[in-house]
Structures are given as C-alpha cells and as structure tokens.
Amino acid sequence: MAWLTLIADSDAQHAEALSEALLERGALSVDLLDADADTPDEQAIFGEPGEPPPGVWQHNRISALFDQDQDVAAILQGAAHDIGLTVLPKFRIETLADNDWVRLTQSQFEPIPISPRLWIVPTWHTPSDPAAINIVLDPGLAFGTGSHPTTRLCLRWLDNNMPPGLSVLDYGCGSGILAIAAMKLGAAHAVGVDLDKQAVLASHDNAAANNVSHVEFYLPENDPLRKYDLVVANILTNPLRMLAPLLAGATKQGGQIVLSGILQEQAEDVMAIYAQWFDLNAPIFEDGWSCLSGRKR
C-alpha cells in the first residue's frame, strides 16, 4: 500500500489552523516543521522572552499524510477555504511507498562522533567504539541530540576544556545532553534548567538511560539558584542577552561560561554584553553558528 504526502508552506498565522483543517478533512497525520531548518535562519521555539510564541515557527512546512485514493489538492483547497485563506499556499504532493517505518526513521540517525573519545549513540545502535565515552540519546521532543552545530560546539568545548570535579549549570538544557556529557567527562555535580516541562522530563529519562547520578533538572521557578564553577547555555541570542545578569550571577568568581545558539554575525554583540563580567576567549564558529567562552573576573 502507498500513501500520499501533502507538503505545503504556511506562515505562523495560519499554520496550526490549516493543520487542524486538514485533519478535519481526513488527513491521517499532520506534522509541522521549520521551513528554515538546517539554514542560518533555523528557529528554536521554546517561548523565551523576545521570541515568537512557543510551538510555531515563522516559516512553517506542513506535512500531511493521506490514503492514496484521496484528492489531496481538493482537500487542501477545502481546508484553506475553511480557515478563510483565499490564496492556496505553495504545495506539492508526493507518493510514499509502503516501508518499515521504524527502520526508515532509525536509519536517519547514526552515531555522531563529537571527538575521538566522545560519541552520541542512539539506543538501536551498537557503539562504534565501546571504549569511548558514549552518550546514549534518541531523537525526541527536546532540543539537543548532538546533530546541531551549537550542541556539537558545546560538547567539544566540554571535552577539550573541562577539568574534573566541577559543578555545572546547563541553562536551557533541552534533552539534558550537556549536563549528562559534563558528568560523563568528570563533573562532580550538574543541574539542568529548562522552561519546557517536557524537556525536564526528557532530561531525567536521558540521565537514567546513561546511568548518570548527581545530576538534577528543574523548571526555572524551582531552580535552587546556586553558584557554579561552569555555566553552559545553548539557547538563542535574544534570550542570552536578557539572561546575561542571571547567568553571570550563577557563575562563581573565577568560574567559566560557555554560550551557544548564537549566529556568527551576532557573536560580537553577545560578547560585548558578557564582557561586563567575563574575560572572553576568541569565538569558535561552525556552519554559521558561534560558541563563546570566558572566565569570570
């Protein structure tokens, strides 16, 4: 059996309503994706101050699945009419052959080498190097699988620069990957904080899957507000601007900070803000993204 996939572009104003309308008209499933994914315009959606409302990208790609006997173009036209759209969005229709969907999905996620000794390994893979530090992590609802340049930049910094025995704060922890990596690399204690309840739950589960103890995860209102030897924040530029006093206050004197989620052209602006508290190193860049680090005076 084959299916038909409708792929349509939508702005933030109409994306959710159009998705619901497609479901009402018989779509078997509907996914919303960031149309700018894997470009410098890629947008995280965690609802931080100054960012668009959580759950909606500014440029959306709707992917809707239908039985092969459906008139998908007519369904899209009807759904657009239902929500008051007078102009159909740009779209295409693809035929999807019957496959082993679990195997197909898993095949898209291979082990990720961060360094010769540090790997991210999905649960369905055998580690390429059993003697390496292998972080077991599956793709899920929270950001941070090691595939994005900002996550890799932070992981490499930890691998190359973090002495053992530190206390670590991972602010905007997502999947918990940085806090978990810090513990596996020798930290004494780590705390992860995230606005998203699902991220906090995912981080707890991922820590358990990696047999990591002495790590805690909280929503911001439950954060015990300690001071840390190392503060890591892989978020976005606008939140990092607004959170600068909080993150600086959470760093011990003489402690270090690592920041990412910053586009390359935004690095100097963020550095100017954090230079109030930190002596900063030269930024590191990868695929248009930045990683900043420094030591608190």
Average pLDDT, the chain: 86
In which band, very low, low, confident or very high, does the pLDDT at 1 lie, cut at 50, 70 and 90? low
**Portion of the chain with pLDDT greater than 90, in percent:** 53
b/e per residue, 224-245, with b = 16+ CB within 10 A?
eeeebbbbbbbbbbebbbebbe
Whether the per-residue pLDDT at 131 is higher than 60: the answer is: yes
pLDDT, residue 49, reads 39
For residue 52, what pLDDT is reported?
44
Reduce the DSSP state of residue 245 to 3 states and report it. Answer: helix
133-165: pLDDT as tens digits: 999 887 665 566 667 889 999 999 999 999 999
**16, two tokens:** 């959710």
pLDDT tens for residues 230-265? 999 999 899 999 999 999 999 999 999 999 999 999
The CATH class, in words, for 3-98 is alpha beta
CATH of domain 141-296: 3.40.50.150
User: What was the pLDDT predicted at 160?
Assistant: 96
pLDDT tens per residue, range 171-222: 999 889 999 999 999 999 999 999 988 889 989 999 999 999 999 999 998 8
Evaluate if residue 104 carries a pLDDT over 60: no
If one counts every other C-beta atom within 10 angstroms of the C-beta of residue 54, the result is 12
> Which range is least confidently modeled, 7-11, 223-227, 232-236, 266-270?
223-227
Is-contact 280 248, C-beta < 8 A? Answer: no
Domains of the chain, residue spans: 3-98, 141-296
3-class SS at 250? helix
Close Cβ partners of 162 (under 8 Å, ≥ 6 residues apart): 168, 182, 185, 186, 187, 230
pTM: 0.67
